């Protein structure tokens, strides 16, 4: 994901140094080469390896590997968890960002800190917290059992974990935009007789549209790749509670390298798609911002 950024940074860095040591071409060449080699070793090579390994035995085994029922169900579960996480976090993110930026209330600082919690807590620990909260040793377990709603080692657990780890992504993107904008325009709209939802749709949403989209893209990317927390809550029930990253791990553990790489390639493709969407969103957003 950071390929583009790295390149930009290194290029700016070299021009600056180049200006100071005018004429020293060697420095420029060395720095550029180091950056390129670094990028190649860290990013391009692994990606090529994944694709190469996936197709090593030819197209047919590749297609067989990715059309395996377990893999397909893992893909579906990953998409399901991602979509739900994006929807929930969009709604939550909008509400939280709105509340934080537009109102004065007690405990506001605490709320801001809490929103960041999921990125500061290790995903494994997050998973364990949910196991303790909803598992057999929990005091609410009998209640969950009586309504036949299983969280641990079941799909709801996967979704819960995914929502948790992607929690801050959307609100964090919207918040600065809302804060910079202030409340004047909303107040002006209210004074002209507009109601809450009209104000949101006509005045607030146009402001945060691009930040929101960007947040959704980031959230989706993170949701698809989530491994740690999901791994703890999943129980690895093949075809039931296994997501794509878990499926890769399982195949890898069974020494099925080619299928493991084939499944990984799906994730790579999804990542590339998200990267492209991100660039487009960023580009359009920036152009709008400049106007």
Query: In the complex, what is the shortest distance from the CB of residue 214 to other proteins, in angstroms, rounded to a whole number?
Result: 17
Contact 61, 257 (CB under 8 A): no
Could you say which residues in the range 175-204 bind other proteins, by CB under 8 A?
184-185, 187-195, 198, 202-203
| Structure tokens belonging to residue 137 | 């040793």
Query: In the complex, what is the shortest distance from the CB of residue 178 to other proteins, in angstroms, rounded to a whole number?
Result: 13
116 C-beta neighbours (distance < 10 Å), count: 13
By CB under 8 A, name the one of 25, 106, 109, 291 that touches other proteins.
291
The residue (of 33 and 183) whose beta carbon lies closer to other proteins is: 183
Query: In the complex, what is the shortest distance from the CB of residue 185 to other proteins, in angstroms, rounded to a whole number?
Result: 5
By CB under 8 A, name the one of 206, 272, 280, 287 that touches other proteins.
206
Query: In the complex, what is the shortest distance from the CB of residue 186 to other proteins, in angstroms, rounded to a whole number?
Result: 9
**32 is an interface residue for other proteins by CB under 8 A:** no
Quick one: CA dihedral 219, 221, 222, 224, positive or negative?
Answer: positive
CA–CA distance, 40 with 45 (Å, rounded to integer): 6
| Structure tokens belonging to residue 271 | 């990542």
Site pattern 133..172 for other proteins (x: CB under 8 A): ----------------------------------------
Tell me how long the chain is. Answer: 291
The residue (of 25 and 106) whose beta carbon lies closer to other proteins is: 106
Query: In the complex, what is the shortest distance from the CB of residue 199 to other proteins, in angstroms, rounded to a whole number?
Result: 9
CA–CA distance, 52 with 45 (Å, rounded to integer): 10
| Structure tokens belonging to residue 14 | 């070299």
Could you say which residues in the range 208-267 bind other proteins, by CB under 8 A?
none
CA–CA distance, 159 with 151 (Å, rounded to integer): 9
Surface-to-core class of residue 48, CB atoms within 10 Å of its CB (0-12 exposed, 13-18 middle, 19+ buried) = exposed
The residue (of 18 and 209) whose beta carbon lies closer to other proteins is: 209
The residue (of 25 and 104) whose beta carbon lies closer to other proteins is: 104
CA atoms in the 13 A half-sphere facing the CB of 228? 15
Query: In the complex, what is the shortest distance from the CB of residue 278 to other proteins, in angstroms, rounded to a whole number?
Result: 22
**284 is an interface residue for other proteins by CB under 8 A:** no
CA–CA distance, 51 with 156 (Å, rounded to integer): 32
**207 is an interface residue for other proteins by CB under 8 A:** yes
CA–CA distance, 267 with 272 (Å, rounded to integer): 9
Query: In the complex, what is the shortest distance from the CB of residue 182 to other proteins, in angstroms, rounded to a whole number?
Result: 8
Contact 162, 88 (CB under 8 A): no
Residues lying near other proteins in the complex (CB under 8 A): 184-185, 187-195, 198, 202-203, 206-207, 291
């Amino acid at each position: 994901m950071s390929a583009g950024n790295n390149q930009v940074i290194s290029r700016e860095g070299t021009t600056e140094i180049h200006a100071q040591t005018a004429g020293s071409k060697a420095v420029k060449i060395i720095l550029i080469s180091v950056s390129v080699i670094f990028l190649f070793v860290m990013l391009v090579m692994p990606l090529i390896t994944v694709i190469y390994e996936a197709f090593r035995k030819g197209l047919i085994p590749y297609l067989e590997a990715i059309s395996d029922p377990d893999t397909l169900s893992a893909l579906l579960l990953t998409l399901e968890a991602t979509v739900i996480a994006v929807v929930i976090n969009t709604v939550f993110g909008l509400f939280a960002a709105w509340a934080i930026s537009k109102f004065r209330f007690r405990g506001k600082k605490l709320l801001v800190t809490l929103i960041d919690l999921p990125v500061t807590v290790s995903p494994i620990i997050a998973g364990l917290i949910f196991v303790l909260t909803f598992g057999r040793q929990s005091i609410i377990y009998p209640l969950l059992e009586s309504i036949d709603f299983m969280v641990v080692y079941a799909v709801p657990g996967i979704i819960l974990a995914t929502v948790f780890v992607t929690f801050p992504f959307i609100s964090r993107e919207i918040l600065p935009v809302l804060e910079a904008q202030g409340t004047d325009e909303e107040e002006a709209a209210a004074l002209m007789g507009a109601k809450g939802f009209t104000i949101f749709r006509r005045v607030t949403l146009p402001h945060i549209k691009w930040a929101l989209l960007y947040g959704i893209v980031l959230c989706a990317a993170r949701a698809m790749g989530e491994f740690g927390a999901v791994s703890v809550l999943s129980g690895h029930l093949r075809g039931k509670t296994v997501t794509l990253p878990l499926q890769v791990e399982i195949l890898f553990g069974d020494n099925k390298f080619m299928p493991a790489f084939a499944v990984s390639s799906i994730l790579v493709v999804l990542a590339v798609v998200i990267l492209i969407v991100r660039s487009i969103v960023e580009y359009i957003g920036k152009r709008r911002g400049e106007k």
